[in-house]
Amino acid sequence: MSPRAAAGMMEGQAPIALVGLLAIGIIVAVNYFARPQPGATTRAPNATECKDCGTVVAVRRSAHSVPVTFVEIQMTDGSVRTLRAPALQFSVGDSVQVKDEALTLRDPS
């Protein structure tokens, strides 16, 4: 193959490569901004009364043969905890309380 033919093939693939890189950049940006940022806490009105309380920020299901659900909780102190849950009974935004590695729904008021 001549160098001229190789250069012509690469020119035709450049727009495709550029679109692919742009798509990867957009995916990274969306995932970055979808995660809670450090220091950005939304505290419940009675946050000082409940140290084991928090808000669900992510619910993920494993891809294993025995599915496991992981719930990510932003606690009232600003820390983030990830716990295993028995089923998809929690959704993002739920106010929860952690008791011995178990989650219970909590009234947000």
From CA 75, how far away is CA 45, in angstroms rounded? 13
From CA 58, how far away is CA 90, in angstroms rounded? 9
Mean pLDDT of 69-84: 87
Task: Say which residue, 54 or 48, is predicted with more confidence.
Answer: 54
The pLDDT of residue 74 is above 80: yes
Mean pLDDT of 37-54: 62
- Do 42 and 53 meet the contact criterion of CB atoms below 8 Å apart? no
Beta strands in 1-109 (DSSP E): 53-61, 69-75, 80-85, 95-99, 102-105
pTM over 0.75: no
